[in-house]
Structure 1
Amino acid sequence: MERIHESKEDGFIECKPIASIVTPLGEGGIGKVIVSGPDALSVVNKVFQGKGIDDLRKAMSYKLYYGYIFDGGQRIDEVIVNIAKKGDSFTGEDVVEVNCHGGIRVLMRIHECLQFAGAKGAAWDALLLQSYENNKMDFIRKEALLEVVRARTRFGVKVLLDQNAGALSEALKKGLEIIEKIRQALHKGSSRHETIPYTEQHKGEGKSPLIPPCKNGISNIPPLKKWCKGGFSDETSVLISALSEHIESLLETASLGMALTSPQVLVILGKPNVGKSTIINTILGEERMIVHHEPGTTRDYVSELISIEGIPFELVDTAGMRDTSDKLEALSIELTLEQVHRSDKVIAVFDNSRPFDQEDEGILNTLNSWLKTGNFDNLSQKGDMKAIIPVINKCDLPTKLNRLRIESALQQSACCISAVNSNEFEELHRRLTEEFDTVYKPMKPILFNRRQYLLMTQADILIKQDAECLIAKGGTSKALQIINELKDIFTSCLKGH
């Protein structure tokens, strides 16, 4: 987003103040328009007539002023104005908050008056840009504030507000401090040892053959402490281990943070009439899905946003999977397969009151194909068997299903429930959230988007694959190059470059 400028006749360039509506448009008790930038006080002063103050340019920071907004000679609304001078405001500019009544027309009319008085209309996130440009917040805090607006749960708001308050930013700064200490230790070590030029083995790969090959990026690389023997100094080894553990601790938070900002897609899959819609109605606590004893009632997928332990999920009900000659039902099953392909987790539902049959076998084959072809991120459970939760429904009825066949194929025990009686859902909820650490301590740093996760993964791979170089007695030049790369990664994560 570009800064807003206006040319003046004398050739100087002046930044115009911006006016942004920061409350949702709709019926409401309170609405707010914020004017921020140079001459913000003068702009609002042109349309504001206050009680006890005749000129807003004389106003004090953190003080409220009561009055009216006028358009020409016509009174538009009764308002309360809050002032924050340049040094005190969150944008780093003079800020005037105009608090008015919350009707759409009132807000729009005041916004238009402020633009006519000299402000430039802008979206609310333009205020964040001002704050970022004026070093009032770093890029991480800006990202967090943008996500707060879109947060689906109170738990998500709590976590993101802590990141906006600097929890993740401080953790990244701590990483940069450790990196600088490693640099200093390497310089000290090089003065005590003869520097031997470092030669990369397997130069095309850029890594030592002594380190086992990676699977999915980092999972097969041994703990860094194994390599910290006989390096430049004990200090260097300890610092490198500390940095590696610091990166790992941040990466462990990514599954929670990204689930809070990008809810996982949770698809319910099963053959017709196994009770998928009843399960969704039970989870939602109300009848939202049509339930009927005839198979194939659900012809289209239906999604709902749910929250379990503060974790949001997009819950998707799908058409039953079976062989059919009905063209409409076949199209519905195609849509079901599309939803399965984009899912993060699948609840596979089977009917306890019916024997295992060819349609159930088809469900298992679909799940196996999904695991092989799914486009998964390198987050903890995505793409493995734990992303599938087998559920045996109608357990209040006599058992005819071969449960062991299902548990053997999916390599885990099934949740046994009776959706119609709302029984045994606690275990299902536990399985859905077991990968997330929902025991949250205030101001805990959390990676909450893909950009941050990929950068920290890159740092983790770099430090572990080049561990031998970092702790070797020779190769100072190469070690310092790695440290510079790590610094660039942390700086990029913090500043958004």
Structure 2
Amino acid sequence: MQKKDDKRTKNDKLVKHKTIASIVTPLGEGGIGKVMVSGPNAFTIVNKIFTGKGIADLQNAVNQKLYYGYIHDKGQRLDEVILHIIKKEGSFTGEDIVEINCHGGIRVVMRIYECLQSSGAEGVPQDALLQQSFENNKMDFVQKEALQAVVHAHTKLGVKVLLDQHAGALSSALRQGLEIIEGIERAFLKESWYHGAIIHTDQYRGEEKSLIPNLAREGREALLNEKMLSSLENHIRCLLETASLGMALTTPQVLVILGKPNVGKSTIINAILGEERMLVHHEPGTTRDYVSELISVHGVPFEIMDTAGIRDTEDILESMGIEMALEQLQRADKVMAVFDNSRPFDQEDAEILSALSSWSKKKNADDLHQNVNTYKIIPVVNKCDLAARLDRKKIESAVTQPLYSLSARNRDRLEDLKERLVGELDTTYKPMRPIVFTRRQYCLLAKADVVVKQAKNYLNTGDKTCMISGLIDELKKIFTACLEGHGTINIRVETTR
């Protein structure tokens, strides 16, 4: 077993110090293409295919300087380029880097990429650069996750939040949690904690204060540990509360618009989008398929889905559209249920409420998911510019939420509806605010929350000190796993009898 581990370590070191090349811009989608070479032989490899003005050997290049020249292949000039030299002391991968900025044509970029491989670099996907950075301890796994997620961010708010996490906002908070855990461990294991004044630094105000009044020795331990466990519990809770926003930014919530035919679903979507994207017609049943659009509401992305109106019909195509609408409903994170102010409540409206009830019960059954994403129904009464004939009480009693009245055609009270969509999310941008943004992070911290509550429970019973010690070890493993990139770990969950 030891030999196998030694072999794996040796292979990891070989991977860590190889020279790699990767295309880091989308092929054919811009005027400029970029190929990045990173590794101990980056300068030597690029030297083989680069002829520069004012420099003969990149080994003599100045750090963070640009160099103009040409890439050639067997004497044939391929493209004029600008090189950006970054020496390993200041590079994000921890290795020497040469960024080759060339014209953005697919053929040009690919030819340069192929020449680099022929010259000794290993062609790799873009993620390999992040892995190299991770292996060289230039970033922890949370920072790596953030940088990977930035590429796919849909809004400016998402980019800002993820760049802050890449800069270490969440990582710092996790390390702070480890420090609290280590303090709790010392309190349990060292007798010196029982003597003299014990000082605790307030994590949020930076103030020093004594946690222990003039109590008997046997009371000191319980008070200290309870205060520190409560501090850790609060720290974990504050992080978990950010998960709804973080995960909404990285994975757009699915918003399904549901309602009977001709209630104005497509008009509402067009009003939110601010342009005519959906076909709007007075004839019921116009929408026979679902239509998906990506929107941003106060920086939060949503995948908004317009579905066929739900009703009994003999039209085969419309029936298929309704069946598809019910299928899409199962994907929903939020449902906007639309009702027509100008028509009486009828059987079709009742079927909408029945579908919502079934959806809500199924979603609420998943307790963990319920903690991450707040599943909500948003009841909307449209066409409020027309005479009211709808019995609102039947809807309010079924969904137990206030109705939102608007006129999508006149775009009246549309902003109130947008506020409601992100009502449970704190979208105010605060620089370097730690935010949980992946399910892996959330699941680990949710386990930590369970474990710290168990430790407090054992402490309050006054026994099972050995169990508390074991739970402290589990907490250290969880926070370390979050920083180092482990997905899940086995955690023993005991119950107090």
TM-score normalised per structure 2:
0.87
Q: Secondary structure at the match of 1:484?
A: helix
Over the matched positions of the two proteins, sequence identity in percent amounts to 62
Q: Establish whether residue 378 from structure 1 lines up as the match of residue 370 from structure 2.
A: yes
Q: Aligned match of 1:437 in 412, 426, 434?
A: 426
2:450 is matched with: 461
Q: Establish whether residue 388 from structure 1 lines up as the match of residue 377 from structure 2.
A: yes
1:107 positional shift: 1.0
Give a deviation string over 1:14-67, Cα, whole Å, max 9, x none. 954111010111142321100011211110000000111111122222122111
2:35 is matched with: 33
Q: Establish whether residue 51 from structure 1 lines up as the match of residue 73 from structure 2.
A: no
CA distance in 1, matches of 2:323, 2:393: 29
Q: Establish whether residue 250 from structure 1 lines up as the match of residue 252 from structure 2.
A: no
1:157 is matched with: 159
2:279 is matched with: 290
CA distance in 2, matches of 1:81, 1:253: 41
Q: Aligned match of 2:108 in 90, 106, 109?
A: 106
Q: Secondary structure at the match of 2:285?
A: coil
CA distance in 2, matches of 1:14, 1:166: 23
1:322 is matched with: 311
1:399 positional shift: 0.4
1:221 is matched with: none
Q: Is the Cα contact below 8 Å between 1:271 and 1:322 reproduced in 2?
A: yes
Which amino acid in 1 is paired with 2:60? Answer: K
1:239 positional shift: 1.0
CA distance in 2, matches of 1:432, 1:189: 53
CA distance in 1, matches of 2:57, 2:243: 50
Question: Judging changes above 3 Å, is the alpha-carbon distance between structure 1 residues 263 and 381 closer, same or farther for their aligned structure 2 residues?
Answer: closer
Question: Judging changes above 3 Å, is the alpha-carbon distance between structure 1 residues 381 and 142 closer, same or farther for their aligned structure 2 residues?
Answer: closer
CA distance in 1, matches of 2:281, 2:10: 59
Give a deviation string over 1:193-252, Cα, whole Å, max 9, x none. 9xxxxxxxxxxxxxxxxxxxxxxxxxxxxxxxxxxx957243222211110000000000
1:70 is matched with: 72
Q: Secondary structure at the match of 1:332?
A: helix
Q: Which structure is higher in RCO with an 8 Å CA cutoff and minimum separation 6? A: 1
Deviates more, 1:19-28 or 1:39-48: 19-28
Displacement over 4 Å in runs of 4+:
2-6, 12-15, 189-193
Which amino acid in 2 is paired with 1:117? Answer: S
1:478 is matched with: 467
Question: Judging changes above 3 Å, is the alpha-carbon distance between structure 1 residues 161 and 15 closer, same or farther for their aligned structure 2 residues?
Answer: closer
CA distance in 2, matches of 1:93, 1:469: 49
Q: Aligned match of 1:171 in 170, 173, 195?
A: 173
2:202 is matched with: none
1:361 is matched with: 350
Which amino acid in 1 is paired with 2:160? Answer: K
Question: Judging changes above 3 Å, is the alpha-carbon distance between structure 1 residues 55 and 342 closer, same or farther for their aligned structure 2 residues?
Answer: same
Q: Aligned match of 1:86 in 61, 76, 88?
A: 88
Deviates more, 1:70-79 or 1:371-380: 371-380
1:105 positional shift: 1.7
1:186 is matched with: 188
1:475 positional shift: 2.8
Question: Judging changes above 3 Å, is the alpha-carbon distance between structure 1 residues 58 and 28 closer, same or farther for their aligned structure 2 residues?
Answer: same
Question: Judging changes above 3 Å, is the alpha-carbon distance between structure 1 residues 446 and 112 closer, same or farther for their aligned structure 2 residues?
Answer: same
Q: Secondary structure at the match of 2:109?
A: helix
Deviates more, 1:51-60 or 1:135-144: 51-60
CA distance in 2, matches of 1:325, 1:13: 63
1:189 positional shift: 5.8
1:22 is matched with: 24
Which amino acid in 1 is paired with 2:153? Answer: A
Question: Judging changes above 3 Å, is the alpha-carbon distance between structure 1 residues 14 and 399 closer, same or farther for their aligned structure 2 residues?
Answer: closer
Which amino acid in 1 is paired with 2:399? Answer: L
1:76 positional shift: 1.0
Q: Secondary structure at the match of 1:353?
A: coil
1:465 positional shift: 3.0
CA distance in 2, matches of 1:189, 1:348: 62
1:4 positional shift: 12
1:372 positional shift: 1.1
CA distance in 1, matches of 2:35, 2:240: 39
Q: Secondary structure at the match of 1:421?
A: coil
Q: Is the Cα contact below 8 Å between 1:189 and 1:232 reproduced in 2?
A: no
Deviates more, 1:479-488 or 1:369-378: 369-378
Give a deviation string over 1:357-379, Cα, whole Å, max 9, x none. 00001100100010112375132
Q: How does 1:189-268 map to 2 (within 5 A)?
A: 230=219, 232-268=221-257
Q: Is the Cα contact below 8 Å between 2:87 and 2:96 reproduced in 1?
A: yes
Q: Aligned match of 1:411 in 388, 400, 406?
A: 400
Which amino acid in 2 is paired with 1:96? Answer: V
Q: Establish whether residue 303 from structure 1 lines up as the match of residue 292 from structure 2.
A: yes
1:181 positional shift: 0.2
TM-score normalised per structure 1:
0.87
Q: Is the Cα contact below 8 Å between 1:271 and 1:320 reproduced in 2?
A: yes
1:201 is matched with: none
Q: Is the Cα contact below 8 Å between 2:222 and 2:459 reproduced in 1?
A: no
Q: Is the Cα contact below 8 Å between 1:347 and 1:391 reproduced in 2?
A: yes
Q: Secondary structure at the match of 1:419?
A: coil
Q: Is the Cα contact below 8 Å between 1:303 and 1:316 reproduced in 2?
A: yes
Q: Secondary structure at the match of 1:342?
A: coil
Q: Is the Cα contact below 8 Å between 1:232 and 1:471 reproduced in 2?
A: no
CA distance in 1, matches of 2:16, 2:457: 55
Which amino acid in 1 is paired with 2:225? Answer: T
1:13 positional shift: 9.6
1:472 positional shift: 5.2
CA distance in 1, matches of 2:50, 2:131: 26
Q: Secondary structure at the match of 1:329?
A: helix
Give a deviation string over 1:264-313, Cα, whole Å, max 9, x none. 00000000000001111111111111111110000000100000000000
Q: Is the Cα contact below 8 Å between 1:417 and 1:425 reproduced in 2?
A: yes
Give a deviation string over 1:98-136, Cα, whole Å, max 9, x none. 111222221111111111111111111110010001100
Question: Judging changes above 3 Å, is the alpha-carbon distance between structure 1 residues 65 and 191 closer, same or farther for their aligned structure 2 residues?
Answer: closer
CA distance in 1, matches of 2:461, 2:152: 48
Deviates more, 1:424-433 or 1:24-33: 24-33
